[in-house]
Structures are given as structure tokens and as C-alpha cells.
A and B are shown apart, each in its own frame.
Chain A
């Protein structure tokens, strides 16, 4: 069982390593945000509290954003493999469907975490300053977040018959998760109603923890952030497994 999960995980990783171009293009989105948004607004933004460089402030949120987009869109492989037949090969094999889902979650999360790690490693070139040890400590948390997001992607993919359908639903889901997460702004001073929405978004806690580890500024206890990330991964993982089990080929 573990060997099969590893073999399936490795399959996705081999393809990720072979496709270097996608690793490079995955850096475009966070760095566009960092440069355009960070430097564009840096002069006019005054962060509450001490030590407020806006570019550095954005980096943890954009690392989480990288995971969000990458891991969510990684789930399109389910649609792809169903469309082109490979999924049938897996489904008639004597392996439990749970093993297939687990391998997918781990692979989607691992590739997204590698991309977020690369983004963090490159961001000092844009003038960002943060604790390197903190950033390294944040990687497992980003990986956990990657699993929840990939699971959500699988829930969508299991119901979709086309790439276009997957793309439009995922875009619809991904924008509010990103914009209502505190990735781009501090959440403490938000209007009450908006803050309430941000508080039910699991990504807010991930951003909070990563920012806490990297910059030492956070709104919640880190233990709470980790607990929420873990609960989200378990809940969405279970949903993904259920959706995958029900899926017709």
C-alpha cells in the first residue's frame, strides 16, 4: 500500500521535474504581485505596529498564494487522466482508491511547496527581508495547506467532465479564498463583517502562521493556526476521497 502510494507520488514528481518550464512560469504570478503591488503601494501603505516594510509583509501571503494556485490547478490532472484514459488503468488495478487520492494530495502539495520555497528563496532579490529559519519552519505548514487545496481541487475535478469546466469553477473558488485571506493586508483593522468572512477562511490562518514565523507578526496563536490547517487538510481530504470514490469513469 505504502509502496503504491510512493510509486504514484513519484510518477507526478518525475513529471514535475521533467517539466522545468512550469516551475519557472509558476514564479511569474507571485513576483508580479510582489513587484507591482508591493512596490506600487509601498510608499502609500503604513502598516500598523512596528517594523513595517510592505514588500516584506507581502512575501508570506504570496508564498501561500503560490501554494493555493499551484496545488489547486494540480488537481486538473484528474480531469486530464480521466479524459485520456490513464485513470482507468489505475481504477482496474488492485489498489484502493484511497491510495490514489493520497498520492495525488501528496504530489500536488509537494510540487506546490517546492514552488513556494523557490519563491521565498528568490524574494530577497526583490528586497524582501525575513527570517530564513522561520521561512524553513513554515514549509511544512505550506505543505499541509497544499493538501487541503489539492483536496478541494479533486472535489471539483471529480465532478467535471471538461478542462474548461474545471478552470471556471476553480477560478470562481480560488479568488475569494485568496482575496479574503489577509495575504495582501493586515486583518486586525478590517470592518467587522469582512473580518468575520476572513476568519472562516482556512487560508487566513496559514498566512498568519507563515507571517508569524517569517516576520514575527501574527494575529492568532501559531498553535491555533496549525490546528486549523490540520483540521482543514483532514476535512477536505475526506471530502476528496468521497468524491473520488463516487466518480464514474
Chain B
């Protein structure tokens, strides 16, 4: 079977700025593949190239065997795209938005109404089909966009930050829909995110930073790579414990609130050993498995950035303008 996506040495420059610097990966058919990285890492640029909206500076990308640069028309027919910001016509009804999409993607006339009804049911919006989209909440708009992405049954669905700005319930619901999509239609999903918990839903993750892929593996394997668990010990006098850890076990600890914390392999077993052998004076102790946050930190030396105040300001301004 053909790979859904094949990317070789892809690069994109804007003037002197290298947004994407020679990345390569393949995504298998039916896979959920995540691009994880902070804002500005090159995720959206990559997705725009794959969706034929941008020409790469060098390198190549093939979708279902078709080159995005030389046969954009054939590629467009096979893909669906759900953008970071809603791309609905908010002065049309939900059904009208979907109908326009069905015509644009040449869904056979006889099947249109059926597919629209089915897609709306799939995202639980069938009772709002005749309402103007501007009356929808952010989560409903996102779901409607997913419904729209289904209308033409794309082989590959691209999602740029699919749940940014959504509340936790809506995010969970969106993920249910996405997993059902793969299960029912075998759709390949390619998504970008800067949320670690969202990346955990993927089969494989490429961690991207400064336009380069710094790691590519399953979430479990990536976490394995960090290896160590984070142990946090509560103690009124952490100094003797810190000395004990460094002298007897060779572990460097860092002061934490009300005690200290340290990284160690197989944290739970280590605690048992520590408590039975050394009886340190402790108020409490906890072990945490490594998360993708830790993975990102260990790969890049930085914490993944949450969306800054600047981004939110721009969003507010856009809303103000829309109302004005």
C-alpha cells in the first residue's frame, strides 16, 4: 500500500528566514501523525506546503504518490484541510457551508444531501443545520469544519491546531470524532499541535523545533527515551536527604516547593529501596512518569511555549474588528 505522505528534504525560506529546514518523514495510510512543536517552529508552513497553498523552496512532498508542487489539482481532490482559524462563511447556514463544499469537491449531486445530513449527525450538529454559522460557539464551528472535512471523504485530513482555544469537553469530543473518522473511513490524519496531551492521541509524533525534526517516534517510545521518572519528596529538612542521594546514589536533586525533586529510573522501585534502607525523614513522596513535556524539554532544552499574550491580543482585535 502507498504511503499517505512522503516528504523528502523539504525546505521553505521567506527571504532570509528559514521556516522549514530540510525535513523528511513518511506517514502510513490510516495513521494519526502529529507534528508537535512550539508556535513558530514551522508547523503551519509545513502543512501549507502539503496542502498546496505554498510552494516549497526545495525538496519534495508526495501525497498518495502525487507531487504537491506539480499536481496540486489532483492532490486537492484527495485531501481535506481544517485550518487553525475557522474558515467558514459565517453569514451562511451550516448546511449552506457544507453544500458549497460538496459542489466545490464535485460530490455527485444525488449524494450531496445524504452526505451533508450524515456529516452533521457525525459531529452532533444535525439540529443546527439551518442556523447561520455566526450564531455558533467556537467549539460548534470547529465541529462543523470537521463535518465539512468529511463531505468529500478525503484520503488524508490535515488539521492545523485542531483544538486550540477549545474548552476541555469540546476538545475531548473533537478527539472522539477524529478517532471515529479513522475507524469508520480509514482516513489518514495529519495534525499539528503544541499541546502535549493532544499529541498523546497520535500513533507517531514528529517533534519539530526551529524548522527541524528533532525526534520522530511513538509517544510511548519518546517518553521511554527520557527514561527517568520524576520523584518529588516533601520534607521539612531536605538537606540531609539531598546529601544522602548524592553520596550514596549519585543523584543530583533540585530544591522544590516544600522539599526536593530528582530524576531516577524506575522511580517506584527506587522509593521502596530508599525508604527501607535509609529511613529518611519524609513528609510524603510522589512519582510521576515522564510526559511529552519532559520529552520536549530534554530534546530542546526548553519548555514548550504556551500561546503568548500577543497571540491572544491579535485574536481579540480580530473579534473587535468583526463586530465593528
> Which of A7, A14, A85 has a CB less than 8 Å from the CB of B86?
A85
**Minimum Cβ distance to chain A for residue B168 (Å):** 24
A14 engages B104 (CB within 8 Å): no
Judge if B13 is at the interface, Cβ distance under 8 Å. Answer: no
Q: Assuming A14-B96, A18-B91, is B85 touching A84 (CB within 8 A)?
A: yes
B51 engages A92 (CB within 8 Å): yes
Chain-A contact segment, one of B75-83, B258-266, B294-302: B75-83
CA distance in complex: A163, B91 (Å): 18
Size category of the B interface is 20 to 34
Size category of the A interface is 20 to 34
CA distance in complex: A76, B141 (Å): 24
A-B contact count (CB 8 A): 67
Q: Assuming A3-B103, A7-B104, A86-B87, is B96 touching A92 (CB within 8 A)?
A: no
For B103, B104, B106, the residue with the greatest tally of chain A CB atoms inside 10 Å of its CB is B104
Judge if B53 is at the interface, Cβ distance under 8 Å. Answer: yes
Judge if A232 is at the interface, Cβ distance under 8 Å. Answer: no
Judge if B88 is at the interface, Cβ distance under 8 Å. Answer: yes
> Which of B79, B87, B96, B322 has a CB less than 8 Å from the CB of A89?
B87
A8 engages B79 (CB within 8 Å): no
Judge if B101 is at the interface, Cβ distance under 8 Å. Answer: yes
A92 engages B81 (CB within 8 Å): yes
A94 engages B77 (CB within 8 Å): yes
Judge if A4 is at the interface, Cβ distance under 8 Å. Answer: yes
CA distance in complex: A19, B134 (Å): 14
For A14, A18, A94, the residue with the greatest tally of chain B CB atoms inside 10 Å of its CB is A94
Residues of A within 8 A of B52 (CB): 92
**Minimum Cβ distance to chain B for residue A54 (Å):** 39
Judge if B221 is at the interface, Cβ distance under 8 Å. Answer: no
CA distance in complex: A86, B87 (Å): 4
**Minimum Cβ distance to chain B for residue A3 (Å):** 6
CA distance in complex: A88, B103 (Å): 16
5 residue pairs, one from A and one from B, having the closest CB atoms = A85-B87, A94-B76, A93-B104, A89-B87, A7-B103
Give chain A's interface residues, CB within 8 Å of chain B: 3-4, 7-8, 11, 14-15, 18-19, 81, 83-95, 163, 249
Give chain B's interface residues, CB within 8 Å of chain A: 51-53, 73, 76-77, 79, 81, 83, 85-92, 96, 99-101, 103-106, 148, 318, 321-322
